[in-house]
Homo-oligomer: A and B are copies of this chain.
């Protein structure tokens, strides 16, 4: 029997690469979806292409969506600086309004066309507790909504949204990924990587990633921009 299809949201960062490895290890034929939502840099999307190929994705599509039109986030609005002086409490300015809702909605549309009943997303509630759309209650509510939104609900199938990293620490995510053969040198997490994909080392995403490798007692394969670390 053919493997069941799943749609996997793939940003090119550490978490989504691990999520893809888990989906593949669970036996799914993985159709990866990246969203070019007006990020500051293309390095993450290039990383997504490399990761999809390395982890045997059945297919990979990048959909373009100009979320920068709405503004309101340091990740899509160059007028807002990316914070570099440490992770602070509360919702950070790097929060992109409704980003996970929008990306999951796009995944839902593609899943429906593919006949897939499973969507994987690498959200994590531990490190990003300031992002409302990374919480377990959000994922559950999205899944309930998705079952009412689509043919699945009408035809009696059940659509599932899997967030296998949601309760893992960054160190646990890294250990899980390494055990599944993820090459983290292919991934880019930095909010302001340069064109070569080299990381700044000081944004929140870089800090959490570095701390994760240290806590997991694993070598950090990240390439940093000269002089910043």
Which A residues fall within an 8 A CB radius of B? 61, 63-67, 69-72, 91, 95-102, 104-106, 108-110, 112-113, 132-133, 135, 137-138, 141-142, 144-146, 148-151, 153-154
Contact = CB atoms under 8 A, between A and B. Distances in A.
Nearest to A64: B66
A70 B71 CA distance: 26
A72 B102 CA distance: 19
In the complex, the count of this chain's copies comes to 2
21 contacts: A63-B66, A63-B69, A64-B66, A67-B109, A72-B113, A97-B112, A98-B112, A98-B150, A101-B109, A101-B145, A102-B105, A105-B105, A132-B148, A132-B150, A132-B151, A132-B153, A133-B149, A133-B150, A141-B141, A141-B148, A144-B144
B106 A102 contact: yes
Interface of A is mostly: helix
Contacts of A148: 132-133, 135, 137-138, 141
A138 B145 contact: yes
Contact of A109 (B70, B91, B106, B137): B70
B63 A65 contact: yes
B144 A97 contact: no
A72 B69 CA distance: 28
B149 A132 contact: yes
A150 B109 contact: no
Central interface residue in A61, A71, A91, A98, by most chain B CB within 10 Å? A98
A132 B133 CA distance: 24
Contacts of A101: 105, 108-109, 145-146, 149-150
